[in-house]
Amino acid sequence: MSSQQPDASAPIGVFDSGVGGLTVARAIHDQLPGESMIYVGDTARTPYGPRPIADVRRFALEILDGLVEQGVKMLVIACNTASAAVLRDARERYDVPVVEVIGPTVRSAASITRNRRVGLIGTQGTIQSRAYDDLFAMRPEIALSSAACPRFVDLVEAGETSGPAVHEVAQQYLAPLVAQGIDTLVLGCTHYPFLRGAIRQVVGPDVALVSSDIETANAVFQVLTELQLLRPPGSGEPELRYEATGEDTAAFVELARRMLGIGIDAVDRLETGAIRLPN
């Protein structure tokens, strides 16, 4: 990263494969209501979880390049699969700070667990990347049990977050983790907080649920403060802009309204295309 200081009045750029990262965007806005933000959901190519890591890397860098071209002062990778695939590249590639969702969540889970048995659920790509395993390996006293939950993202993107079918899927994925005696469960995908009710019903009230939205927002606040990049007073009304790569932007708006209570006036459509990756 170069020593050039970004413009503190510029927006924060938040990126996810779909609507899940809106949980992170909302948490950032709740904590930093004076900040402007650009949110991009790659809805044309969601879900990222089943895709080869090389494809996820290419898609993520394409979106992140676009956010940097729009002049953001910080990049927030609000997607676990993309964080695992591209974090090192992003921090070397861009002259703005990069915050991701994995590190803050691991630190929170490690501080919460009482019996040192932590469960992790995520997409196939996130689990296979072993990004969480690598960070938890620095805390050898903690036993980590992981499970891929590929159908969860599809359910959320379809707006299906409760009911018998959702409970059945949650039971199938989570019962083996509960049998391991976990007392803390990491929701390793930004879509999963939408399923918190179904997850809670399966794991019971004694298992702490740790999601990336609040922890990532805390990290954003900390980094902006340390780098003196908080938006200065008198910078005008903050702007919240939403962009999506999929054709059906109306579905994006409806999901945001129904599942997060976010009123979005408009979503700009982004075209996707190939980018040249660094060697």
* Higher per-residue confidence, 142 vs 154: 142
The reply, when asked if residue 167 is annotated as ligand binding, is no
The reply, when asked if residue 95 is annotated as ligand binding, is no
Q: Is position 7 within any domain?
A: no
* Higher per-residue confidence, 186 vs 214: 186
Under the banding of pLDDT at 50, 70 and 90, the label for residue 148 is very high
Q: Are residues 200 and 218 in the same domain?
A: no
In the chain, how many domains are there? 2
* Residue that the structure tokens 């899927």 belong to: 169
User: Does pLDDT of 257 surpass 80?
Assistant: no
Q: Are residues 107 and 208 in the same domain?
A: yes
Catalytic center residues = 79, 189
Q: Is position 33 within any domain?
A: yes
Q: Is position 4 within any domain?
A: no
Q: Are residues 242 and 196 in the same domain?
A: no
* Residue that the structure tokens 């902006």 belong to: 224
The reply, when asked if residue 80 is annotated as ligand binding, is yes
Q: Are residues 58 and 114 in the same domain?
A: no
User: Does pLDDT of 277 surpass 50?
Assistant: no
Q: Of 182, 197, 212, at which residue does a domain stop? A: 212
Q: Are residues 116 and 184 in the same domain?
A: yes
User: Does pLDDT of 223 surpass 90?
Assistant: yes
Q: Are residues 197 and 136 in the same domain?
A: yes
Q: Are residues 156 and 114 in the same domain?
A: yes
* Higher per-residue confidence, 190 vs 68: 68
pTM for the structure as a whole? 0.86
The reply, when asked if residue 81 is annotated as ligand binding, is yes
Q: Are residues 225 and 91 in the same domain?
A: yes
User: Does pLDDT of 265 surpass 80?
Assistant: no
Residue 115's domain spans which residues?
103-212
Q: Are residues 112 and 193 in the same domain?
A: yes
pLDDT at 3 (0 to 100)? 55
Q: Are residues 149 and 186 in the same domain?
A: yes
Q: Of 212, 229, 245, at which residue does a domain stop? A: 212
**Mean pLDDT value across residues 217-244:** 94
Q: Are residues 28 and 166 in the same domain?
A: no
pLDDT at 273 (0 to 100)? 58
Q: Are residues 236 and 110 in the same domain?
A: no
CATH number of the structural domain spanning residue 76: 3.40.50.1860
Q: Is position 232 within any domain?
A: yes
